[in-house]
Amino acid sequence: MAFAGRSNAGKSSALNALTGQRNLARTSKTPGRTQLINLFSLDEQRRLVDLPGYGFAKVPPAVKEQWVRSMEGYLRQRESLVGLILLMDVRHPLKDYDQQMIEWCQQAQMPVHVLLTKADKLKFGPASATLQKVRATLKKQYPEVTVQLFSATARTGLEEAWTQLDAWLQVAPGSA
């Protein structure tokens, strides 16, 4: 399962919160620190994949372009990939690259689950309103995409995210 999102969406913090390991993925105040595809093995058959961030990193345009090509190739060619967790800052959801990632996954028939991160930065009402707006927007074009609020800091949405991870990472009987 892969994790993708803008460079400042909180991918590393989400990975750390979801795995219960503080330093599994390196976090930084500077967007764009994840510059390679990082694999984290859960066991012999299951891995979490941290893809480079896109959109906000302070790197040359050629580097950003290479990241986009790498991610597109990875998403299109990895037969073992069972789903994409797409992270978006709840205050800035559905940017062009986010929608492009969803489109790539739809073309590859790969399920997408959206984490609207940094939910602790908004009060409950505005966060819930954003959640409903994003759900309604995506439902029109991509009805199978699921969306939830998430905060690594406040540990909001962990149970719901774990349920999605468990569903996607089930090992088929006899394959273990």
Within a domain: residue 175?
Answer: no
Within a domain: residue 173?
Answer: no
User: pLDDT tens for residues 74-115?
Assistant: 777 888 899 999 999 999 999 988 998 899 889 888 999 999
Q: How many domains does the chain have?
A: 1
Within a domain: residue 174?
Answer: no
Calculate the CA 116 to chain-centre distance.
9
Containing structural domain, residue 152: 2-168
Which tops the pLDDT comparison, 72 or 34? 72
Q: pTM of the full predicted structure?
A: 0.86
CATH number at residue 148: 3.40.50.300
Within a domain: residue 158?
Answer: yes
Which tops the pLDDT comparison, 124 or 42? 124
* pLDDT tops 50 at residue 157: yes
Q: What is the pLDDT of residue 28?
A: 52
Q: What is the pLDDT of residue 171?
A: 59
